Amino acid sequence: MSSIFNALPGIEVPVGSISKSLADMWASTAAGGGPAPEADDAKATQVNFVLHLGLNTTPDDAAVQFQTAMRFSKRYPSRVVVLAPLSRDEGVTEMRAKVYGECHLGKSKSDKRCVEFVMLSYPRSAREFLESQVSICLSTDLPLYYWPHRFSASAKLADYRYLLTRARRVLIDSAIAPADALTYPWPRPEAVRDLVYARLLPVRQSLGQFLSRYPMDAICEGLQSVSLLHVPALAAEGRVLLGWLRDRVGQCGKNRAKFDLKPLPAGVPGSFEIAFVYTGAKFFKWKGDLGKGQAFFEADFGTGRTQLPAPVSLLPPENALSEAMFF
């Protein structure tokens, strides 16, 4: 896992002088004519953000998630701490640290915002000191958000109690997390948010806006089954989307509809297909193709057939982070 630490950008510094090293980094950048904060408000942060790269993270994946955190922090200025545990200690007994900073312009040339990252690599022998070091790196009096990425087991992650109990939100991606991640007895289960649900926001909004045009009685009466088909790569999204539909129409009316989740047959184009089946002539169908960004509604809830094309997409990763954190 030392390769994870090496894959992240930044200047390696002594762990005991991270704050001083950040100040020296900006001073060196400014002296070299590079973009650096010219005032304290340029580094004003809104949140503390801890990205915890689990043992299943590869170097390439670590670089991708770092860039996601960077794009997020440009919109919501953050103090970002990236944790990279060592899978094999190989005699390593101490933590290693890197610092990284980047400035960018906002809506005007005078609106400069600079973000700071601290990367910490740690062996198991230094695990007991991790929380103390993380607390030193974070900005005081700001909310903490914790994103454990590709962790190997829920029980192992549960050992990081300081982060799990202090964080306002714990962000878990159920598409790549252990199977019990959303049902595990976390210290604060009400703080856990699923990134799969967050990135489905445009799909949920589109379906909700279309269905909201009809009375609930028209949607519910005679409903027998709801099926959702998905491509294999979107199994988690399909599961979460079907659960969202069940919460909204599964218990309405006198009927108790059956809900089925299946993969799309091989060779069938598109990403998702949804169908409501009724006892009579009513029906509802929706097909979405994320690759083309296109969706199509077909429905008749007893007032005539409606056909409607619509755009479809998932939220970009940095937008899904903000959706899961703040909403």
311: pLDDT strictly greater than 90: yes
Phi, psi torsion values for 171, nearest 5 degrees: -100, 120
> Which residues lie across from 311 on neighbouring strands?
294
When pLDDT is averaged across residues 79-101 and rounded to a whole number, the result is 89
pLDDT (average), residues 11-38: 82
Sign of CA dihedral 204, 210, 215, 218: negative
CA-based end-to-end distance of the chain: 34
Q: Judging by DSSP bridges, how do beta strands 78-85 and 11-13 pair with one another?
A: unpaired
Could you count the other beta carbons within 10 Å of the beta carbon of residue 234?
21
pLDDT at 34 > cutoff 80: no
What does the pLDDT look like over 48-89, one tens digit per residue? 999 999 999 999 999 999 999 999 998 898 999 999 999 877
- Contacts of 174-178 with C-beta under 8 Å, sequence gap 24+, read 174/236, 174/239, 174/240, 175/235, 175/236, 175/237, 176/56, 176/149, 176/150, 177/150, 177/151, 178/151, 178/152, 178/153, 178/154
Beta bridge partners, 51, equal: 82, 147
pTM: 0.93
**110 and 93 Cβ atoms separated by less than 8 Å:** no
How much is the pLDDT for 33?
A: 64
- Residues 275 and 119: their CA atoms lie apart, in Å, by 47
